[in-house]
Structure 1
Amino acid sequence: MATNVFINLPVSDLARSKRFYTSFGWTLDPNFSNDDAGAVTISDTIHLMILTHSHWAQFTDKQVADATTTSAVINAISVEEPRQIDTMVDQAITAGATEGKAQEFGFMRSRTFADPDGHTWEIMWMDPIARTGDWAAVQAKYGEQQFA
């Protein structure tokens, strides 16, 4: 059985967040969505639960962090082709996201955005050669890279 990942985020305006996350191709699952929550399917095994602050409070005694001023997590999603990064991030920006930091190392590339509540997402691609850990092959293909 495949492992599923459920990312849960508190949102200040559920309707806005439903529109935002479905605007770039992720789908809302009506079977698990209501006035307090939205279940967004990112892939067959990755799901996003967007929850009103009052619904979020049912799962924790901690205060909801203001993600526009603090950072606790970066949600990273990989894509198969580098060009998909630009498509997805550009669509998110059009839908109301704020662009964050980008990284370019040749063998790995990413761009980030913050959703309307400030939650950070990184869309990234890594050359399959780098995933093997064969850094000699990576250097042969890309040369010396500066990591900043």
Structure 2
Amino acid sequence: MPKMIFVNLPVQDIVASTRFYEAIGCEKNEQFSDENAASMVWSDTITFQLMTRNYFSTFTSKPIANPRDAVGMLIALSRDSRDEVDAITEAAAAAGGKADIREKQDMGFMYLRTFEDPDGHVFEPMWMDLEATSAMDE
């Protein structure tokens, strides 16, 4: 079995969040989805497991942070081009998220933007020219 990542995220509205994650390129896995959770597959090895806040609370004894008030992590998503970085950011904004919550970063060999999902979780789609970074090491 390959190493996989399951990013568990508490959300207010499971239906709205499911639509949002579909808009940014995820596919819903019905086998692991119900009224409390939506399994949103990003790739063969990465899945966003969206959970209602009540259901999410059954997995932890700690208080659940409000991602609109505090950031606990930034989720970077690799893309194959600058255009794909722009496209996913614009799709996020059109689907109820917020685009460019900080200034675009263009370092020539790397380009990234930042968006929030409807609950305030922060994503950074990014593109990197790996050949240019290899040349930097020489």
Q: Report the TM-score range of the alignment, normalised by the length of the smaller protein.
A: over 0.9
Q: TM-score, normalised by structure 2?
A: 0.93
1:23 aligns with 23
Aligned residues: 136
Deviations 1:2-47 (A, max 9, x none): 2111111000111110111112321111000000000000011110
- Residue 135 of structure 1 and its aligned partner are, at CA, apart by 1.6
Please list every run of at least 4 consecutive aligned residues from structure 1 whose deviation after the TM superposition is greater than 6 angstroms. none
What's the C-alpha RMSD, in Å, of the aligned pairs?
A: 1.3
Deviations 1:24-75 (A, max 9, x none): 3211110000000000000111100000111101110111111011111001
Q: Aligned pair 1:92/2:92, yes or no? A: yes
Give the match's secondary structure for 1:91. Answer: helix
Q: Return closer, same or farther for 1:6/1:130 CA change in 2, 3 Å cut-off.
A: farther
Find the aligned partners of 2:33 and 2:80 in 1 and give their Cα distance.
29
What amino acid sits opposite 2:84 in the alignment?
A: Q
Find the aligned partners of 1:86 and 1:8 in 2 and give their Cα distance.
25
Q: Which runs of 5+ in 1 are unaligned?
A: 138-148
1:61 aligns with 61
Give the match's secondary structure for 1:58. Answer: helix
Q: Which has the larger radius of gyration?
A: 1
Q: Which runs of 5+ in 2 are unaligned?
A: none
What amino acid sits opposite 1:85 in the alignment?
A: V
